[in-house]
Amino acid sequence: MKLRTKIVTTYIILIVITTGILGFIAINKSQEAALEQEEEKIQFALQSVYTLVDMRQDLIQEQIKNDLNISIKLLQEEYGDVRIDKSNLAQVGEYTVPALYAGDLNLIEDTTFVDELEDFFGGTSTVFVLNDTEFVRISTNVRHENGDRAVGTIIDENSTVYQSVVNKQPYYSRAWAVNRWYITAYKPLIDVDDNVVGILRIGVPEIDEKLESILGNVKIGKVGKLYIMDSTGTLLYHPTKQGENIARYEYVQDIFDRKNGSMEFQLKSNTMLAKFQYFEPWDWYVVALVDIHDIKSNAQGIINFIITIGLVICVLAMAIIASQKVNKIDRKN
């Protein structure tokens, strides 16, 4: 073998070995960086949803106060002052209650008012009448699954709602109505003699169609899922399993214990990554769940690009260095 050939071959071997070692280190570092980047994307998506929910709570609180005040004003101006007629009794569910009027409108027999509020504001509207030491729900636009209006439930004197309203104060809370959670506001209905005779309650769903649409467009990796559950493990939002309870899973109990953070765990034969945040005002756990393999698959595209660029650089470097050495040998000869 000619000296020129031996020198070029030696340099090429050295370059290949050196480049291989550096490439191996670079690929490992790149893989770590790519995986970290994918996790950051998931964390960003999770934080964005949490911020959205926090903003929605503030907006609903302001909206529901305004809607409640407007509704009371509408009732008085369109129908008249509220009053109880204890001589006119009606059966509502298992309760016998006095009639509650707004002007000439019997609020037990006529649902025009609560239906109007639904048209104006959306959400739910409910009227309660005072019956001795409890308030009985007599009119509502909330319906059971069979279409019947959900009347005949009570607010008893031991509840914080009762205590606030009889003292002529509004009350704000969360309430479960038929099949979902609502942010609710209660305000006393007061007659011309300054007596509390009933309650108007309005509610806005925590999760409506618009929020569901936004959540449905959030991407967690390629096939990861974002969902919301409460502290019982019931899925309040999920792309395919809404309403199911997943408290039986060990990782869910771990989420309840930790409230905020991330963890890896085995689910069947897959290694999963869960990132989660707890929204205390609504007792929500916002969870992003993804298969680790999915994250690595996304990261692999970045790694392949780096490898390709590295190989191109290696080939060019070998060609340049080999050419320089050959030229030196040629000049000496």
Alpha helices in the chain (DSSP H): 3-78, 112-121, 160-166, 209-216, 250-258, 292-332
> Distance (Å, rounded) from C-alpha 294 to C-alpha 3?
52
> Residue 97: how many CB atoms within 10 A of its CB?
26
- List of long-range contacts for 254-261, beta carbons under 8 Å, 24+ apart: 255/285, 255/287, 256/231, 256/285, 259/285
- The domain 80-205 belongs to what CATH superfamily? GAF domain (3.30.450.40)
> Distance (Å, rounded) from C-alpha 312 to C-alpha 89?
90
Residue 84 and residue 98 in contact, taking contact as beta carbons nearer than 8 Å:
yes
* pLDDT tens-digit series, residues 168-223: 999 999 888 777 889 999 999 999 999 999 999 999 999 988 899 999 998 887 77
- Residue 307: band (very low, low, confident or very high) from pLDDT cuts 50, 70, 90: low
In sequence order, what are the residues at sequence separation of 6 or more whose Cβ sits closer than 8 angstroms to the Cβ of residue 131? 95, 97, 98
* pLDDT beyond 70 at 129: yes
Longest dimension (CA), the chain: 125
Report the chain's mean pLDDT, rounded to a whole number.
85
* pLDDT beyond 90 at 323: no
* pLDDT beyond 60 at 75: yes
Q: Please state the domain extents for the chain.
A: 8-78+207-318, 80-205
The pLDDT of residue 22 is 55
> Distance (Å, rounded) from C-alpha 198 to C-alpha 125?
13
Quick one: which of 53, 115, 123 has its CA closest to 78?
A: 115
> Residue 274: how many CB atoms within 10 A of its CB?
22
**What is the CATH code for 8-78+207-318?**
3.30.450.20
pTM over 0.85: no
* pLDDT tens-digit series, residues 275-286: 999 999 999 999
262, 266, 270, 273: CA torsion to nearest 10: 0
Residue 224 and residue 289 in contact, taking contact as beta carbons nearer than 8 Å:
yes
Share of the chain above pLDDT 70, in %: 78
> Distance (Å, rounded) from C-alpha 248 to C-alpha 246?
5
The pLDDT of residue 251 is 94
The pLDDT of residue 180 is 82
Residue type, 258: R
* pLDDT beyond 80 at 167: yes
* pLDDT tens-digit series, residues 85-112: 999 999 999 999 999 999 999 999 899 9
Tell me what the mean pLDDT of segment 246-263 comes to: 95
* pLDDT beyond 80 at 309: no
Quick one: which of 128, 142, 136, 133 has its CA closest to 96?
A: 136
Q: What is the DSSP letter of 281?
A: G
